[in-house]
Chain A
Amino acid sequence: MNPTEPDLLRRVHQLETRALAEVYDQYSPGVFRYAMRLLGDAALAEDCVSETFSRLLQALHKGKGPQDHLQAYLYRIAHNWITDQYRRQPPPPLELDERLTADEDTDPLETAIQNQRQERVRQALKRLPKTQRQVIVLRYLEGWNVQEVAASLKRSVGAVKAMQHRATSTLRKFLAIEEKEE
């Protein structure tokens, strides 16, 4: 993740429609993926994307907003929104969608097991402190390097490494507990 092009940032700060469209097209799929992984619900993930970009606009309107790393800024907003979502309510139960049809190639049992595994990991991630969770997700799921995560969190590289170490140890424990509980 390189710093955002200064020209693009300038145009974004001027609320130029074309620049904002470019930013949306470039980063919204990533924000959706990120939210989807943490929330496991497509509708909530879309809400997260919508709210993230809306907050970006509000910040830009007030003359604030990202000064260099636009992507990191967006992920930070998305992460805060997800954390709020965690606090606000437990994840809604999965509803049966009548449009869902049985896929002949997919084994329902296999799908159920996969969903259960995903939920187990999500629950473990949810129990991590906010920043540690962000480090883990960005490093392991989004594939960012330490420098990029540091830029996103506005922390030093050393601090991120330490946080990652603590987070991995804690997460491993949580995952083991979750497994035992099952």
Chain B
Amino acid sequence: MTSNKDHTKLDAELKNSLAVLQDIPTRDEKRALHGRSQFLTEARTLKQSVTPAAERRPNRWMENIQTRLPFRKEGVPMFTQIISALLILITLAGGAGAGTVYAAQSSMPADVLYPVKTWSENARLGLATSPEKDIDLLLEFANRRIEEMLVLAEEGAAVPEPLMTRLQTHLDLALQLCDQLQDSQQTRQQIRQTMMTQQKLIDKAPQEAQLLQTRDMLQQRIHQIDQTPLLDPAQDQDQLQQQDRDRLRTDQPEDAGNPEANGYQEEQNSGGPNPNLDAPGQQSGGQAPQRTKTPMPGQSGQQQGPGGPDSSKGPGN
């Protein structure tokens, strides 16, 4: 029987032998990005094919009623069928159909079918039912634009201006929609991650002027995201403002003799904590105030205008 000591020795020897497999080449980011995009597209397709109406299927009494009604048991699939039938009719009538749209998906900006591709993307955006879905689509389309740019750059062709504008629009729209979300932190990071990956891909591509311009644009937006304060979802804007109001109320008697001594205002102006703002019971200049959110550089405090902290971030920036 092998003793523990022998076993350890055997493990160490084997570990050394297997160590040659530890070093593996870096993954090709373009392929990885493409794989990710394919995976998410497949997920969306599968999700759409799931019938969400299981609970809507008729039970006994509903069946009796529904069979007497002119409607079918599952409204949504029926509606889909009608839409499909209409689409087929349009396809047959128009001569350009789903096949064309499908074929257009791999087209490049200079191709005849490229407008069909962008049109189908706009149509998909128009059909999205929530800002989250819109953002996912916009990021997917932004990745497509980057892939197109990289292919063009590799072929030595110029990247057309509209392609760059379209990429910029996708990203700005995604950021705008993200600002409207209740809990935008995760989405914002998702957008940031996408832009980081895109930037890395561009770094590896031939150094074309348009690509460098695109990289700068991405860098600018990443910087904007980094500069935007991230709110703790558990402690939202209202809570923070309420805390400030409470604190001011508590501090009021101490500052009553000095009408100028508005600690909150002073903190805003100086950008640092004011000893007068210490929580009740604390000595002035003692421990740090209990504010959990420190304004980011360039931000003046918790009170924000109608635009909020993100108002500096707009499509034009």
Contacts and interface: CB of A to CB of B under 8 A. Distances in A.
Contacts of B60: none
B136 interface: yes
Contact of A42 (B13, B21, B23, B25): B25
B40 A49 contact: no
A122 B24 CA distance: 13
A136 interface: yes
Given A15-B43, A140-B15, A33 B24 contact: yes
A25 B46 contact: no
Looking at A17, A32, A58, which has the most chain B CB atoms within 10 Å of its CB?
A17
Nearest to A50: B35
B190 interface: yes
Interface residues of A, number: 37
Interface stretch (A102-110, A113-121, A151-159): A113-121
A20 B40 contact: yes
Nearest to B49: A61
Nearest to A23: B39
B291 interface: no
Nearest to B31: A46
B24 A36 contact: yes
Interface string A18-44: 101100110011001100110000100
Contacts of A169: 10
Interface residues of B, number: 38
Contacts of B17: 121, 175
B20 A118 contact: yes
Nearest to B26: A42
A57 interface: yes
A127 interface: no
Contact of B36 (A28, A122, A165): A28
Looking at B2, B24, B43, B136, which has the most chain A CB atoms within 10 Å of its CB?
B43
A32 B28 CA distance: 11
A141 interface: yes
Nearest to A43: B31
B35 A117 contact: no
B133 interface: yes
Nearest to B45: A57
A136 to B, nearest CB: 7
A180 B43 CA distance: 49
Contacts of A28: 32, 35-36
Contacts of B10: 168-169, 172
A168 B133 CA distance: 49
Nearest to A117: B20
B132 A165 contact: no
B50 A172 contact: no
Given A15-B50, A54-B39, A61-B46, A171 B21 contact: no
Given A17-B44, A17-B133, A32-B27, 14 more contacts: A17-B136, A36-B24, A42-B27, A46-B28, A50-B39, A57-B39, A117-B20, A121-B17, A140-B18, A141-B18, A165-B2, A168-B11, A169-B10, A172-B10
The 3 nearest A-B residue pairs measured at CB: A15-B47, A117-B20, A36-B24
